[in-house]
Chains A and B, each alone.
Chain A
Amino acid sequence: MSSPNGDVALEVKGLKKHFPIRQGVVFKTTVGQVKAVDGVDLTLRKGETLGVVGESGCGKSTLAKLLVGLETATEGSISVRGEDVTKLGRAGMRRLRRNVQMVFQDPYTSLNPRMTVGDIIGEPFEIHTDVVPKTGRRKAVQDLLDVVGLNPDHINRYPHQFSGGQRQRIGIARALALKPEILICDEPVSALDVSIQAQVINLLEELQDELGLSYVFIAHDLSVVRHIADRVAVMYLGKIAELGTEDEIYEAPMHPYTQALLSAVPVPDPTLRGLRDEIVLEGDVPSPANPPSGCRFRTRCWKATEKCAAEEPLLQIRAGAPHPNACHYAAPRDVVHAVE
């Protein structure tokens, strides 16, 4: 893990993405909104890894797409190097793309099966012709293959000739082609075998040190996130519930949802069986089209009171904790280690 030097690489303010729900056969009318991302503020410092965790429906995948420009924000701003990219035209978007790239989750669908690996990694050079002159492209691709730990001689092979872990490396090589500063990693190891995950995680860490990259690391596996992230944001139904350093979040989580989430993650140590603080959440996650009033988590929260329904808790510093959370009754609780 590297030490951030204070420079801000990416800043997100008040980001919202609402998907309209349409009905009708010939003429469609909008009958509601799916509030996938509903007001997110984040800062990513240069050289650091920001982990974003949450369960299905929390909006982290949508957030990833917004950061990379695959979706346009309904509201709010995303600033890269101080420039608000939500206001950009085509030329601006091209500049954004050079700086922010994405590593996709599924190594089996993120590579075009009909293109050679050389074509796949070289495509960024064909789109942004000014990065590498034509004569140097083959070498550049081979260098990238080398950087991610693959054999440069395999440049003419097809994706199906590689294993899952190798394909993921190809995806990473492709993302690095334009020399971005920021990589958005959307569940980069979830689809890989356990013994291969460590290889790719280590690779990402090495690359971060060597190339000075900043990562937004989105995942549902909290153990992986703890390992690689410097700071962590916990999302629930489109909003951030808690945001802090890895130490703060895992050792002293303040928000009930964070606590419930962490307590549910099993630890590969049978001696801890039955010794950890168990929090059982009942019920299902509410629909993002119809989130509860006030605090969104109140329908499943054991601390909920009328205040929680009436007044939405904002993400802010509370109760003497060093990091912000969004709960009226925030209090630290150790759910990761055995309780005496």
Chain B
Amino acid sequence: MSDANLQVAAATAPKTQKQRGLWSDAFHDLRKRPTVIISSFVILVILLIAFFPGLFNFHDQNVKYCDLGLTRGAPSGQHWFGFDEFGCDYYAQAIYGAGPSIQLAVIVVTVTIIIGGFMGVLAGFYGGWVDAIFSRVVDVFNSIPFLLGAVMLLTMFRDVQVPLIGGRLQAIIPAAITLIIFGWTSTMRLIRASVIESRGLDYVQAARSLGASDMRIMFRHILPNAMAPVVSLIPLSIASMISVEATLSFIGLGVRAPEITWGMMISSGAPYFTSGFPRLLIVPSAFLIATVLSFVLLGDAIRDALDPKLR
């Protein structure tokens, strides 16, 4: 903003009676926007589908029930999306396919933020040799090409069973670990940069001059400020993790069978696109695109809203 705009903005600072922090200010801003409302609604629906697929099981379709005799059957009243090549109900597949993808994305994003955040804050705050070591570690990880590394790792440990966890998690964990290994570096870098920027701020200096301990400064002053760019990136990260997982599933390396994901559905549905059964590709793609788009739009909106216009 030009100087003049800033001055006008400062001169219009609301002398409101309500006490509103920066976060609630942003929230109030976002509440009004149509893209935010629609994306949030879609995301809510998708999350419900992911965590409570049973709610959407209107006609009692059983995911496991597959009748080869119904292979590639057409949609009907009972079976909205028809059947896939194994005769399994496609609607059920799509619904149950949401779960693994989303859960994987959420786990990966959460863990990368924790790891990246931890290392980023330490590296940014202390600088010096701490930063030097952590940054070199990041460099090493970064020098491995993402997709190549992920594919390699997943191929090598394709059939390895992780002890002590069962079922759904077993199917997700290997892919999750791989994505975390190759994903934490960008979060670390982002947080580190944010911390370095916050470190020099006057109010951090003020806290130091009051005698605040390092811990206090990190948690009370720097972290809340440094987290802002990260928070706005969360939806975008989730979106990209979902996409990456779809890619990996497409080449058979993502979430493992017997779980279903949209990527797998796309993978098996693609060959039929031109041979008369386009819906086998269209259905999972539509779900995937709708989900990713909603997260992206929401992430963009949050990022814009958190951008401090008035300081």
Contacts and interface: CB of A to CB of B under 8 A. Distances in A.
Contacts of B274: none
A70 B205 contact: yes
A98 B210 CA distance: 8
Nearest to A95: B211
B207 A123 contact: yes
Contacts of A69: 209
Interface string A150-171: 0000001110110110000001
Nearest to B201: A109
A196 to B, nearest CB: 12
A29 interface: no
A121 to B, nearest CB: 11
A127 B212 contact: yes
Interface in B19-66: 19-23
Nearest to A158: B21
B206 interface: yes
B22 to A, nearest CB: 6
Interface in A43-100: 65, 68-70, 93-94, 97-98
Interface string B10-22: 1001111001111
Contacts of A93: 211
Nearest to B308: A113
Contact of B216 (A104, A127, A171): A127
B168 interface: no
A127 B310 contact: no
Contacts, number: 80
A127 B23 CA distance: 26
A104 B10 CA distance: 20
B211 A114 contact: no
Nearest to A68: B209
A312 interface: no
Contacts of B21: 114, 158
A123 B212 contact: yes
A2 interface: no
A93 B23 CA distance: 35
Interface string A105-120: 1101111111110000
Contacts of B311: 108-109, 113, 160
A110 B13 contact: no
Contact of A157 (B19, B23, B308): B19
Residue of A97, A98, A110, A113 contacting most chain B CB atoms (<10 Å): A113
A124 B210 contact: yes
A101 interface: yes
Contacts of B13: 160-161, 163
Contacts of A101: 209-210
Interface in B204-247: 205-213, 216, 220-221, 224-225
B22 A114 contact: yes
Interface in B259-277: none
A128 interface: yes
B269 to A, nearest CB: 48
Contacts of B211: 93-94, 97-98, 124, 127-128
A93 B19 CA distance: 36
B159 interface: no
A231 interface: no
Q: Chain A CB within 10 Å — which of B19, B210, B225, B310 has the most? A: B210
Nearest to B205: A70
A204 to B, nearest CB: 17
Nearest to A112: B203
A127 B210 contact: yes
B202 interface: yes
A116 B19 contact: yes
A110 B14 CA distance: 20
A102 interface: yes
A196 B216 CA distance: 33
Interface in B100-125: none
Nearest to B211: A97
5 contacts: A97-B211, A104-B202, A110-B203, A156-B19, A160-B13
- For the complex of A and B, the 4 pairs showing the least CB-CB separation, nearest first, are A110-B202, A97-B211, A109-B202, A112-B203
Interface of A: 65, 68-70, 93-94, 97-98, 101-102, 104-106, 108-116, 123-124, 127-128, 156-158, 160-161, 163-164, 171, 174, 178
Given A104-B205, A110-B203, A127-B211, 4 more contacts: A104-B202, A110-B205, A124-B210, A178-B210
